């Protein structure tokens, strides 16, 4: 079971607040629909859940608030089920390469640090590649984190070619028999096209080292940005083909609804959730545990 470190109190939102008093009527269902939309669950996922609930209601099978809560949880759970697929690092793939993508400010660097720590705790050796060469501070931030935690960081300074950093890092990780190489990337370039082109190039160049790399292309999105997170996921997925998503800042003001929207729309595995700023605040995504936190 994921260690979320804060019991189930990390998510400040409580979906039970959306449920009506004792008995359910059509107004209560309509109000629930509005609240799901306001909670970032998204138009399509909300329509899917409300469609099922309406059928139950019309069939006389949703009479009390308790029935409604139970069915809401069940149908929200059905949306998440296809996305519950934790990251597995096979023993015979070394280095296993994780390409981290996402726009600036979402918590990408923090997530890389947390993930590196989690992997080390699982007795895997880790190397980082400072592929965000566009922002000088990004290279320093990663280097600083690596120094403090005894994780080697490959960098070529700011302004270097990020694909060349990734290529070089792969060679070094291979030579040192490192288990997992995590490649950081830029979160902003002159234009979005430019950014996506750079990411495609990094992917291509890594593939020249070993055609199975990168093994994971993981997007980091910030739950507090609501619908923007969904748009980012769709755009990155189209450009570089995502294999995993981490949703950060679920401990903040976010309702967590965006997790349903992303899963329903894209069906990409939700690997981890960020539930705080500290290194240990990264949980493996588990649908049941996530629902427990929402219906606490
Ligand atoms: P980057 O630009 O994507 O690399 O973002 P950073 O890793 O520098 O993070 C931006 C800010 O978000 C920092 O202040 C982090 O401490 C904060 N942050 C990252 N992840 C989380 C999280 O899960 N919860 C909270 N509350 N803050 C986070």
**Does the beta carbon of 252 sit less than 6 angstroms from any atom of ligand 1?**
yes
- 186 is an annotated ligand-binding site residue: yes
Q: Which residues neighbour 176 within 8 Å (Cβ) at sequence distance 6 or greater? A: 125, 127, 152
Greater model confidence, 83 or 136: 83
Q: What confidence score (pLDDT) does residue 86 get?
A: 96
Task: Give per-residue pLDDT as tens, 169-196.
Answer: 999 999 999 999 999 999 987 788 999 9
Distances (CA, A) of 235 to 27, 100, 102, 116: 36, 15, 10, 26
Report the C-alpha gap between 269 and 272 in whole angstroms: 9
Across the range 23-44, mean pLDDT stands at 93
Q: What confidence score (pLDDT) does residue 1 get?
A: 35
3-state secondary structure of 282: strand
**Does the beta carbon of 106 sit less than 6 angstroms from any atom of ligand 1?**
yes
Q: 242, 236 in Cβ contact below 8 A?
A: yes
Strand 126-129 and strand 153-154: the pairing is parallel
Task: Give per-residue pLDDT as tens, 227-258.
Answer: 999 999 999 999 999 999 999 999 877 788 99
User: How many residues are present in the chain?
Assistant: 296
Across the range 94-99, mean pLDDT stands at 97
**Does the beta carbon of 110 sit less than 6 angstroms from any atom of ligand 1?**
yes
Least-confidence region, from 8-17, 114-123, 231-240, 271-280: 8-17
Report the C-alpha gap between 112 and 4 in whole angstroms: 17
Residue 135 burial (10 A CB sphere; 0-12, 13-18, 19+): middle
Report the C-alpha gap between 125 and 97 in whole angstroms: 12
- E-strand stretches of the chain: 96-101, 126-129, 153-154, 180-183, 216-222, 244-248, 270-274, 282-284
The band of 8, judged by pLDDT with boundaries at 50, 70 and 90, is low
Q: What confidence score (pLDDT) does residue 207 get?
A: 95
The band of 3, judged by pLDDT with boundaries at 50, 70 and 90, is very low
- 23 is an annotated ligand-binding site residue: no
- 102 is an annotated ligand-binding site residue: yes
Q: 284, 271 in Cβ contact below 8 A?
A: yes
Task: Give per-residue pLDDT as tens, 204-234.
Answer: 999 999 999 999 999 999 999 999 999 999 9
Report the C-alpha gap between 21 and 69 in whole angstroms: 11
Q: Which residues pair with 217 in a beta bridge?
A: 99
**Does the beta carbon of 246 sit less than 6 angstroms from any atom of ligand 1?**
no
Q: Which of 111, 277, 283, 284 to mutate to test the pocket of ligand 1 (most atoms within 8 A of CB)?
A: 277
User: Looking at this predicted complex, what is its ipTM?
Assistant: 0.99
Report the C-alpha gap between 76 and 249 in whole angstroms: 20
Greater model confidence, 51 or 19: 51
Give yes or no for residue 69 having a pLDDT over 50.
yes
């Amino acid at each position: 079971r994921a260690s979320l470190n804060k019991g189930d109190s990390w998510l400040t939102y409580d979906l039970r607040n959306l449920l009506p008093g004792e008995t359910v009527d059509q107004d209560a269902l309509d109000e629930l629909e509005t609240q799901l939309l306001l909670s970032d669950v998204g138009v399509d996922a909300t329509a899917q859940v409300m469609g099922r609930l309406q059928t139950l209601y019309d069939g006389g099978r949703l009479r009390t608030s308790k029935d409604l809560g139970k069915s809401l949880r069940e149908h929200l759970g059905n949306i998440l089920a296809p996305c519950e697929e934790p990251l597995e690092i096979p023993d015979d793939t070394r280095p296993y390469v994780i390409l981290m993508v996402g726009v600036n400010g979402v918590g990408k660097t923090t997530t890389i640090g947390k993930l590196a720590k989690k992997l080390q705790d699982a007795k895997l050796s880790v190397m980082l590649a400072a592929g965000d060469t566009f922002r000088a501070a990004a290279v320093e931030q990663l280097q600083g984190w690596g120094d403090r935690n005894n994780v080697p960081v490959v960098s070529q300074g700011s302004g270097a070619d990020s694909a060349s950093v990734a290529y070089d890092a792969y060679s070094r990780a291979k030579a040192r028999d490192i288990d997992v190489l995590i490649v950081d990337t830029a979160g902003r370039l002159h234009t979005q096209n430019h950014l996506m082109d750079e990411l495609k190039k990094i992917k291509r160049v890594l593939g020249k080292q070993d055609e199975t790399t990168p093994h994971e292309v993981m997007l980091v999105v910030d739950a507090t940005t609501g619908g923007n997170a969904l748009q980012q996921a769709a755009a990155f997925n189209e450009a570089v083909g995502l294999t995993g998503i981490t949703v950060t800042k679920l401990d903040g003001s976010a309702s967590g609804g965006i997790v349903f929207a992303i899963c329903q729309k894209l069906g990409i595995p939700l690997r981890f959730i960020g539930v705080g700023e500290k290194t240990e605040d990264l949980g493996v995504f588990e649908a049941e545990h996530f629902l427990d936190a929402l219906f606490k």
